[in-house]
Amino acid sequence: MSDDVTVIVLAAGGGTRMKSKTMKVLHPIAGRSMIGHVLHAARQLEPTRIVAVVGHQREQVGAHIEDIVPDAVMAVQDTQEGTAHAVRTAWEAIPAEARVGTVVVAYGDTPLLEGETLARFVRFHRESPVAMSILTGVVADPTGYGRILRDEQDAVAAIVEEKDATPEQAAIDEINSGILAFDADFLDDVLPRIGNDNAKGEYYLTDAVALAREAGRTVAAFAIDDVMQTEGANDRVQLAALGAEMNRRILEHWMREGVTIVDPATTWVDADVRLAADVTLLPGVQLQGATVVDEDAVVGPDCTLKDVEVGAGARVVRTHAELAVIGAGATVGPFAYLRPRTVLGADGKIGAFVETKNSEIGPGAKVPHLSYVGDATIGEGANIGAGTIFANYDGLEKHRTTIGAHAKTASNNTFVAPVTVGDGAATGAGSVIRRDVPPGALAVSSGPQRHYEAWALRKRAGTKQAEAAEKALGEPGERPDGGTPDPDVGDAPVGG
Ligand code: UD1
Ligand code: CA
């Protein structure tokens, strides 16, 4: 027997109940499309080929499938005339010499399906001398499913679809999950013989069961307890239910791998996230995309991290981050916003109300408070003062700022890029740095402080401000002389 395996994934149906311009199988659950989950499971079989049957929105769906499985065979089903018609379309899309071995049929909308389940099912099918096998389940409410009919010997005799079932048959709770395995020779023989004389006027793949029996072949049933693995989402209510179930399974997996999840009810982790042992996730955490968290890191409460790498022992609090790298032992937040290509070195700090983008912040460097760091390179051990703006945009182009190793910049600085502050340099509070600062220099750009004595008494007469000043200054004779003439600023406040 050939050990060739073909997986056919059906995804041509419209999915109208989603009421969406996006095709049903493209709706995401746990960071992957529904069909993405199915293709991942299919790939774990290491099949010879994957054939996808596309119809509605075939360009969009086909392109998405090729992103995940570049060598997938695309079979276009122009009109959706039933599951047998769909499989026939797939069959015709592969060359005759490829129509050998085992053929597995799955649907594109069953995101909980696991590769391990498919693998067990295929092994089961190959070890039994049968024409085809059905992945079955027993469910509390069989509405909508094809029911498994058995003969006196308890062998599988047929599948009857809901719409064609007698009330007696409809009461059967053993159902066809939709996942089937065929001997290629049998499938090749049976496909042209399936008609559409039924309640829906469709070509039912499930008719293959009765046809196998008529030909004297046997059909095996492989029952799984975890029927949810084969459940599809037809509308957004089911999409949310399957999403919640998938999340529950993902969290359970990670807890069993040694991750502490304080509040599973408010923690959402995507399928492709990787977590090390002794990671702690506090309430309100969403880990999305290809996020990776290394051991002993603590994330949360209230963080959304997408495609972020969190190093060992790092601490991330109330942070929104995307495509960022947080070094080992670093601290981030609370209320930090890390935009793409932020790289924070080991033991570095991005503190409260800090936004970063396309910036490397070196090992041990700190941006503790209220700052915007865009297009910057901050050297090892540097400290950026509170309220600093890296002015990276001149209205036309973005430019870089470089801050040297162990530089100490003061509060409320503006770095007008492109500009470089040398290693070990320093700046004064409120400086606007437009020219490069040499290593070790102190740069001060704000002018010397001047006092317009008793200014409030003259310019703010009759206000509480003037009253307070007058009280503090004492009698007119005791007041200091106004050294500097009043500036020509009208009634505008001086110096903000
Ligand atoms: C099918 C099975 C039923 C099973 C149920 C499990 C048949 C006749 N019935 O019923 O026994 O219990 O699935 O969910 O096989 N599709 C195409 N092209 C088509 C028709 C369907 O690609 O022409 C795709 C759909 O997009 C969908 C899948 O095949 O992903 C199943 O089709 P659907 O019409 O939903 O079948 P059910 O009536 O649910
Ligand atoms: Ca269905």
Structural domains of the chain ordered from first start: 5-230 (3.90.550.10), 236-443 (2.160.10.10)
**Closest CA relative to residue 156, chosen from 225, 217, 82, 101:** 217
| Residue 125 is among the residues annotated as catalytic for this protein | no
The CA 163 to ligand 2 mean position distance, Å, reads 13
Average pLDDT over residues 395-418: 97
Annotated binding site, which residues? 10-13, 24, 77, 82-83, 107-109, 146, 161, 176, 234, 339, 357, 372, 383, 386, 392-393, 411, 429
> For the segment 230-269, what is each residue's pLDDT rounded down to a tens digit?
999 999 999 999 999 999 999 999 999 999 999 999 999 9
Strands 342-344 and 376-378: unpaired
Atom of ligand 1 nearest to the CA of 55: 22
Strands 28-29 and 32-33: antiparallel
Cβ–ligand 1 distance for 109 under 6 Å, the answer yes
> For the segment 138-195, what is each residue's pLDDT rounded down to a tens digit?
999 999 999 999 999 999 999 999 999 999 999 999 999 999 999 999 999 999 999 9
Q: Is the pLDDT of residue 491 over 80?
A: no
* Total-model pTM: 0.92
Average pLDDT over residues 434-457: 92
pLDDT at residue 488, as a whole number: 62
pLDDT at residue 115, as a whole number: 97
Cβ–ligand 1 distance for 114 under 6 Å, the answer no
Cβ–ligand 1 distance for 136 under 6 Å, the answer no
Atom of ligand 1 nearest to the CA of 146: 11
Cβ–ligand 1 distance for 104 under 6 Å, the answer no
Annotated binding site for acetyl-CoA, which residues? 386, 392-393, 411, 429
**HEC-encoded secondary structure of the chain:** CCCCEEEEEEECCCCHHHCCCCCHHHCEECCEEHHHHHHHHHHCCCCCEEEEEEECEHHHHHHHHHHHCCCCEEEECCCCCCHHHHHHHHHHCCCHHHCCCEEEEEECCCCCCCHHHHHHHHHHHHHCCCCEEEEEEECCCCCCCCEEEECCCCCEEEEECHHHCCHHHHCCCEEEEEEEEEEHHHHHHHHHHCCCCCCCCCCCCCHHHHHHHHCCCCEEEEECCCHHHHCCCCCHHHHHHHHHHHHHHHHHHHHHCCCEECCHHHCEECCCCEECCCCEECCCEEEECCCEECCCCEECCCEEEECCEECCCCEECCEEEECEEECCCCEECCCEEECCCEEECCCCEEEEEEEEECEEECCCCEEEEEEEEECEEECCCCECCCCCEEECECCCCECCEEECCCCECCCCCEEECCEEECCCCEECCCCEECCCECCCCEECCCCCCCCCCCHHHHHCCCCHHHHHHHHHHCCHHHCCCCCCCCCCCCCCCCCC
Cβ–ligand 1 distance for 300 under 6 Å, the answer no
Residues in the chain: 496
pLDDT, averaged across the chain: 95
Q: Is the pLDDT of residue 493 over 60?
A: no
Pocket residue to mutate for ligand 1, from 65, 81, 83, most atoms within 8 A of Cβ: 83
The CA 259 to ligand 1 mean position distance, Å, reads 39
Atom of ligand 1 nearest to the CA of 13: 26
* Ligand of minimum distance to the alpha carbon of 82: 1
Cβ–ligand 1 distance for 204 under 6 Å, the answer yes
Average pLDDT over residues 473-483: 72
* Ligand of minimum distance to the alpha carbon of 54: 1
* Ligand of minimum distance to the alpha carbon of 13: 1
CA distances from 346 to 180, 353, 361, 365 (A): 51, 20, 9, 9
The CA 268 to ligand 1 mean position distance, Å, reads 30
Query: For ligand 1, atom 11, which residue shows the shortest CA distance?
Result: 146
Cβ–ligand 1 distance for 208 under 6 Å, the answer no
Q: Is the pLDDT of residue 480 over 80?
A: no
The CA 144 to ligand 2 mean position distance, Å, reads 8
* Lowest mean per-residue pLDDT among 13-22, 64-73, 273-282: 13-22
For the chain, what percent of residues have pLDDT higher than 70?
Answer: 96
Pocket residue to mutate for ligand 1, from 26, 56, 107, 224, most atoms within 8 A of Cβ: 107
Q: Is the pLDDT of residue 492 over 50?
A: no
pLDDT band of residue 15 (cuts 50, 70, 90) is: confident
